[in-house]
């Protein structure tokens, strides 16, 4: 499992490589697989995405996109361009925008 070590010596783990790719183009819910998933949420859709047992990577494009993960279901990552607070059981957040 890949990781980096932060400034206080704590390892921060990366999500594993995806082996499934999905687009959540309608709501209200979308369920991932038991493997490592990459899930893109459409910007015009209010959808809650539920990951499975693997390492999941989510791409969120609007405030109407939500993520739910259960404890012990892999190392999960959210990628977004908005201000966002990590939900429970999601380990990583990547925020990017044109001004970075």
Within-domain flag for 34: yes
In this predicted structure, what is the pLDDT of residue 86? 93
> What is the three-class DSSP state of 54?
coil
Within-domain flag for 11: no
Evaluate if residue 100 carries a pLDDT over 60: no
Domain residue limits at 46: 18-95
In this predicted structure, what is the pLDDT of residue 42? 87
Within-domain flag for 68: yes
pLDDT tens for 39-98 read 999 888 999 999 989 999 999 999 999 999 999 999 999 999 998 999 999 999 999 886
Give the CA count within 13 Å in the CB-facing half-sphere of 54. 18
pTM as predicted = 0.88
Model confidence at 22, in pLDDT bands (50, 70, 90)? very high
Q: Looking at the 3D structure of the chain, how many domains does it have?
A: 1
Within-domain flag for 6: no
| CA dist., res. 25 & res. 35, Å (int) | 20
Within-domain flag for 2: no
> Taking the mean position of all CA atoms in its chain, how far away is CA 78?
3
Q: Are 52 and 70 in contact (CB under 8 A)?
A: no
């Amino acid at each position: 499992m890949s990781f980096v070590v932060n400034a206080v010596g704590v390892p921060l783990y990366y999500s594993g490589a995806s082996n499934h790719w999905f687009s959540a183009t309608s709501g209200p819910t979308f369920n991932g697989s038991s493997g490592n998933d990459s899930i893109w949420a459409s910007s015009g859709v209010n959808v809650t995405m539920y990951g499975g047992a693997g390492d999941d990577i989510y791409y969120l494009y609007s405030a109407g996109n939500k993520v739910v993960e259960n404890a012990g279901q892999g190392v999960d990552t959210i990628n977004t361009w908005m201000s966002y607070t990590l939900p429970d059981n999601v380990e990583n957040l990547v925020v990017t925008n044109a001004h970075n």
